[in-house]
Structure formats: C-alpha cells, structure tokens
Structure 1
Amino acid sequence: MADKLHFELVSPERLLFSADVEMVVVPGAEGDLGVLVDHAPLVALLRAGMVEVHDGGKVTARHFVRGGFAQVTPEGLTVLAEEALDMATTSKAALEAKLQDAQATLEAAADDNQRIAAEAHVAAIKEVVDAA
C-alpha cells in the first residue's frame, strides 16, 4: 500500500510486530522520531522508551523497548530492540518487577557510567509503569 508504512519490531527472541501502518513514533537517543511513509532513509540509536504505532488516526499498539536501532529504508521501518515488551500483554506486576531489578542494578553500579545508564533505565521503566 503506497499510503502506508511497513513496520517491523524485532527483539532477540522473535518478531513482535509486522504490519502496514500510518505512522510509528520511536524513542530515539536524541529525541522521539515520527516515521511516516516515504521518510528519508536513516539509522538511529534508541533509548529506553515507548514505540507507538498509529493507524486509523489513533495509537493502535504500544511496545516498551530498551535500546537498539531504528532503520528507515525505502521498504519501511525496522526496529531492532535489545529488549521489547508488548504493552497489551504485559502486566503491571511484571513491569514493577522489572523496575525493582533496574533499581537493584542502579544500587550496585560500580562507576559513573554504570550509574548513569542504570538511572536512565529506571526512569524509563517508571514512565512505563505510570502509563500502564
């Protein structure tokens, strides 16, 4: 379909999402990116945050991703995530458990680099827990 963007979300375990959609918003390392059909090619680093799939004028799917890359080509958008959770099938209890794990990692940080990365991860998960 010429008026739709082909989008795929892939985690190390499996293909999580594949469809033709109107727009996808991804959490880029430098800020959120809205990708529509015929977007210029690019490769972007991702930060922890929410991928939102828009179709029919509304958000139809939400996935939490932690790290990875987004690649836009003439064929569409592919997100290769280090970790991805489908918000439609993830319970609030599972998110709270992830938050506890992230906070433990923060407390165990051995240096400033580990602490900064852990703080960002904790903040992103808190946002997701609040949104769930």
Structure 2
Amino acid sequence: MAEATQATFNFELVSPERRLISEPAKMVVIPGEEGDFGVLPGHSALVATIRPGVVEVHSIESGEVRRIFIAGGFADVTPQSCTILAEEAINVLDLNAEALEKALGNLKEDLALSKDDIERARVTKKINLIQAKVAALSGKIAA
C-alpha cells in the first residue's frame, strides 16, 4: 500500500537567546550560502550553512508567510523536520529603517577611521550585516 504524502513538517528556529518558532510548516525558504533553497515535507536530508538574509516560513497554523531576518547560521533538514540554528534572528516587521541607516552611517565613519586590516574586516562584516537587514526591509535579496 502506498504511503500518503506528508502535508507538513516540524519547523524550529532557534537563536542563542531562545527558541523563536516551533510549529508545523508547509514550506520554508532559507538563504543558504550557495543560494536560497526551499524545504517542503519529505525533503532530502542535508545540513547547510546560512548567509545573512530572510527565512520565509509558510505557516500551516496561521496560513501566513512570516519573514524572519537571520544573521547566518546552520539549517538541519530531514524528511520530517527543519531546524535552523541562527546567530541572530529578528522578525522583519521589527526592523527599523531609520535606526539601520544611522548605524550604517556610523559604521562607514568607523571604517574610514580604522587603523588596520583586522579592524577594517570587523567593521566591514558589521556593515554587510546592516546592509542585509536594509535589503530585508525592502524585500530585496542581499548578495
């Protein structure tokens, strides 16, 4: 007898502070290092690194698509579940464009004043993260 196709899978999004989401989902789109990828029920098992960007959670409970910005991390996918371990996670609706632009301006000043390659690399990484958050607000994909 053929097994019925699974309509949902268990999805969890965990940050260092807490578990942000733990619910059944019908699809999740993840910003992988090698490109965005979608996870549906029955997906092949994989572990992937995640770049800063937006995770789209297609919720079975609310029927809505939630957009969560993550600052990178790892995704662990099995046919029955998907777990994201994120370095930082925030709902896109909670991002503040004005605060991000101010932080970006300050970081660009810091970059101009940086004295060595290590400091420049540290500030550049922060700039890239802020730019990814700005892109998340505008709905664009950060490179």
Give the TM-score, by structure 1 length: 0.78
Counting only pairs closer than 5 Å after superposition, residues 1-132 of structure 1 correspond to structure 2 as: 2-55=6-59, 59-93=64-98, 95-96=100-101, 99=104, 103=108, 106-107=111-112, 108=114, 110-111=116-117, 114=121, 117-131=125-139
5+ residue gaps, structure 1, are none
Alpha carbons of 1:18 and 1:128: their partners in 2 closer, same or farther (altered >3 Å)? same
Q: Residue 4 of structure 1 aligns to which amino acid in structure 2?
A: T
Alpha-carbon displacement from aligned partner over 1:76-107 (angstroms, at most 9, x marks no partner)? 00000000002244444554466456656655
SS state of the match for residue 12, structure 1?
Answer: coil
Change (3 A) 1:105 1:4: farther
Partner SS state of residue 121, structure 2? helix
C-alpha distance in 1, partners of 2:47/2:126? Answer: 24
The 8 Å contact of residues 99 and 125 in structure 1, kept in 2 or not, is answered as no
More strand by share: 1
User: How many equivalent pairs are there?
Assistant: 131
Q: CA RMSD in A?
A: 3.1
- What letter matches 2:138 in structure 1? D
Measure how far apart 1:59 and its partner are. 5.0
Distance 1:37 1:103 in 2: 43
Is this contact kept in 2: 1:11–1:82, CA < 8 A? yes
Mark the structure with the bigger radius of gyration.
Answer: 2
Could you list the runs of 5+ residues in structure 2 that have no partner in the other structure?
none
Structure 2 length normalisation: TM-score? 0.73
